[in-house]
Amino acid sequence: MIVTLIYSRTYAVAISAVAALLALPSFVHGTARADENVSAICWQPHDFAFTANTAIGNPFQTQLTALVNGPNGTSFTIPGFYAGDGTWKIRVAPTSEGNWSLTTKSGVSELNGRTVSFSCIKNSNPNVKGVLQVDKAYPHHFILADGTRFFMQAYEYDWLWALDMGKPDVPTVEKSLDLLARHGFIYVILNTYAHDTKWRKGKSGPDDYGPPELFPWEGSNESPDHSRMNVDYWQHYDRVMTAIMERGIQAHILIKVYNKSVTWPEKGSPELEPSDTLVSNGYCLAQPGREYIAFRANAQSFTLNIAGAPSTLTGEWFHPLTGNRSSAGKFENGLAKVDPPTDSGSAPLVLHVFTTPKKTSDR
C-alpha cells in the first residue's frame, strides 16, 4: 500500500500526523465496469468505472463518493474521481477476504445510487503486505497489515515519476525500482510534480527530466488551468505508483515543493490554510468558522480561537500513534480552552473541529 504525506516546510510534521484523517486514494491495479461481477485482490487497488452522458461543465468538479461495506462491519466512505471520456471511478483496496459492496452518491443522477457487489480474494503478490500502520501493542513501532514489522530503509528519488513519460509502460521505472529492492530499500521519496531547477535549467542533458513532457493540469506551466487535471499525466503517475506497490515499496509523496519552478495554484485556493494565530500552542490548519485541525506535539492544554461559525461545531480527538478517536465535545465562537484526554500522556495529538458531525464510516 501507499503512504502519502504532505510536504510544506514548517507544517510538514503537523500535516503528516493529520494525514490519517484524510481519505487518501490508493493506486490503480484492476479496473471493472460497474455492472460486472468482479473479484478484487486483498490489499490491492481496484477501480470501478461509472459513466454519465449528462452534459457537465467541468467534470473534475463533479462530486462523487461511495459508501463501501465489507466483512465484520467494515464501512467507510471514499471519494471518486473523473478519469476522462465521460467516466468516473471509485477506487477501492479491500482489506479482508469476503463479500463487499459499494453504493455511490452524487448530484449527477446517472452517477447516484449505483450499487456494486464484489468479492475480495486472497492476495497473490508476496511483496504486497497491506496497509502500513501503527502497532497497537508497541505504538512507537510500525507494522504492516499481515503482521510484518516495518523498518524503514528509504531512498530519495524526487524525479522518479518523470521517467518513461509519454510511453505506454514504465520499463525504466520498473528497472530502477528492482535495483532499489535488491539492495533492501522499502521506501521511496518522490514528488507529485516538478517543472525545472535553477541549478540545471532547461534540458541540460539526457539525464535531465525537466521540463517534463506532461503537465499535471490542463494548459502549461506558463499558462495553467488549475481547475482541470491532465488525465494523461495522472494515468502515467498511476503506472509509476503501481510499479512501486507491486514491489512492496512505500511511497512518501511530496505534494508541493517550492524550488522546482512550478506554477502552483494561488495561495488560498485549498480548503484548509495554515493559520497558527488561531492556537496558543502548536500548529493549525483552518477554514475559519467551518473547520479547524490543530496539532500539538505533546498532549498539553491550549487555546483555540473560533470566529464566524454559523452554528455549534463538533470536536474530535485523534491519536496519531494508535489511531484512536474520541469526542472532544462542542465548540462555540470565541476563545476555547482545550484540555486533551487524560490518557494521552505526553504523546502528540490532533484536534479536529468541524461544522457537520462526521461518522466513523464517513472517512
- Whether residue 305 has pLDDT greater than 50: yes
Q: Is 2 left (phi over 0), alpha (psi -120 to 50) or beta?
A: beta
Cβ contacts of 89 within 8 Å, gap of 6 or more: 31, 47, 48, 49, 50, 80, 81, 83
- β-strand pairing of 313-318 with 154-156: unpaired
User: Three cell numbers at 288?
Assistant: 475559519
Residue 271: per-residue pLDDT? 60
Candidates 67, 87, 69; CA nearest to 77 is 67
Q: Is the pLDDT of residue 95 over 60?
A: yes
Residue 245: exposure state from Cβ atoms within 10 A (0-12, 13-18, ≥19): buried
Q: How confident is the model at residue 16 (pLDDT cuts 50, 70, 90)?
A: very low
**Is the distance from CB of 94 to CB of 100 less than 8 angstroms?**
yes
Answer with the residue of higher pLDDT: 20 or 206: 206
Which is more confident, 17 or 207? 207
**Residue 112: which residues within 8 A CB-CB, separation 6 or more?**
104, 105, 106
Give the model confidence (pLDDT) of 116-126 as tens digits.
999 999 999 99
Per-residue pLDDT tens over the stretch 256-286: 888 899 998 876 555 677 888 899 888 888 8
Residue-wise pLDDT tens digits, 163-191: 999 999 999 999 999 999 999 999 999 99
pLDDT in tens, 30-72: 555 555 678 999 999 999 999 998 888 999 999 999 999 999 9
Sign of CA dihedral 115, 120, 126, 131: positive
Q: How confident is the model at residue 99 (pLDDT cuts 50, 70, 90)?
A: very high
For residue 270, what pLDDT is reported? 53
Each residue of 315-327: pLDDT tens digit?
A: 999 887 777 888 9
Mean pLDDT of the chain, nearest integer: 85
